[in-house]
């Protein structure tokens, strides 16, 4: 019995590290995890950039609507008024020019129209490649 314990202890003392096969197995597992995770992370980043641009576009729409209401554009109902985003910033309706993640989502100006009968404000974003409808 004592002899069996000694041989087991001796075997455990001699095993000091990982074998090459064990290291290769670990590297393969890490590679598989990376191959799955990297595309998923890239897709998440792309979706978040689109959502940030969409939020910026909605902020511009809200600023243009506030401009139409505060400047009493209802008296010019039916007429379309164009304003640049820089003008909305200069007039205090936006704090700063938005930073765009994708240049195709960039909005440079808006067209504001007030319905003569309902008084509803419609804002069109220009260029028309906007992601907010």
Domain extents for the chain? 2-126
At 43 the pLDDT is: 94
Which H or E run includes 70? Answer: helix 20-70
One digit per residue, the tens of pLDDT, for the chain of length 133 reads 566 566 666 665 666 778 899 999 999 999 999 999 999 999 999 999 999 999 999 999 999 999 988 887 666 666 788 899 999 999 999 999 999 998 888 888 998 888 878 878 888 888 866 565 4
At 20 the pLDDT is: 92
CA dihedral 124, 130, 132, 133 (to 10 degrees): 50
């Amino acid at each position: 019995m004592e002899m069996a314990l000694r041989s087991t202890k001796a075997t455990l003392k001699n095993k000091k590290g990982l074998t090459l096969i064990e290291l290769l197995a670990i590297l393969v597992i890490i590679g598989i995890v990376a191959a799955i995770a990297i595309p998923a992370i890239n897709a998440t980043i792309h979706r978040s950039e689109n959502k940030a641009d969409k939020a910026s576009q909605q902020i511009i729409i809200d600023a243009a609507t506030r401009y139409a209401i505060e400047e009493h554009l209802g008296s010019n109902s039916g007429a379309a008024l164009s304003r640049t985003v820089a003008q909305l910033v200069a007039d205090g309706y936006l704090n700063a020019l938005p930073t765009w993640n994708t240049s195709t989502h960039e909005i440079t100006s808006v067209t504001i129209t007030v319905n003569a009968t309902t008084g509803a404000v419609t804002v069109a974003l220009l260029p028309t490649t906007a992601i907010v409808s």
